[in-house]
Amino acid sequence: MNLPNKLTVGRIILIPIFLLVLAVPMNWGSVVWLSTRIPVTQIVAALIFAVATATDFLDGQIARRRHLITNFGKFADPLADKMIVMTAFVLLVEKGLAPAWVVAIIVCRELAVTGLRLLIVETNGEVMAAKMPGKIKTVSQMFSIIFLLLNNAFFAIWHFPLGTILLYICLIFTIYSGIDYFVKSRGVFSESVHE
């Protein structure tokens, strides 16, 4: 197994750890930073999520630079991304840190675009590359999760809800990029299937 695939497997292993840290009732106390109280479990979860995000960036960079792109990587890398992001958003809703309706839209879009990607591969034999709106969606998604878990502690002194703002930026680009992918791929749906 090459290094990018090991990083992807490592990210998949982090998902249940991240889930347990946030979902299992543990009282590790809290930290006060700039008059904001942050449960230690959320700090640990934010660190785990940040490490997972870093491995996502690294595995793709290494795979492209060293020409180590594999079928396992094509399958597991996006799956690992979706799994940890969806897990994080569901837990943010449970903890009252994100509105359920926003998370429902994000999860539905992720599932719809994943289905579209599979259909395009099956129909045309080509992988649908990520476009800039989708990349903006992903970056705002990752940072919104981290800042929401940290209760916007770094910006508390200015009462600036960066995590919430990033969440709504993510929502806008989630909707826009989802529509964009479907509009540009509408030809896939017009083709008749011959048996």
Along the 195 residues of the chain, how does pLDDT read in single tens digits? 888 889 999 999 999 999 999 998 878 777 776 667 788 999 999 999 999 999 888 887 888 888 888 877 777 888 888 899 999 999 999 999 999 999 999 999 999 988 888 788 777 766 666 678 888 888 899 999 999 999 877 665 567 788 889 999 999 999 999 999 888 888 877 765 554
For residue 92, which amino acid is it?
L
What are the boundaries of each domain within the chain? 3-187
In CATH, the number for domain 3-187 is: 1.20.120.1760
pLDDT score, position 195: 47
Report how far residue 110's alpha carbon sits from residue 113's, in angstroms, rounded to the nearest whole number: 5
Task: Count the neighbouring beta carbons within 10 Å of the beta carbon of residue 111.
Answer: 12
Q: What local confidence, expressed as pLDDT, does residue 192 receive?
A: 52
Whether the CB-CB separation of 84 and 21 falls below 8 Å is answered with no
Residue 184 is predicted with a pLDDT of 85
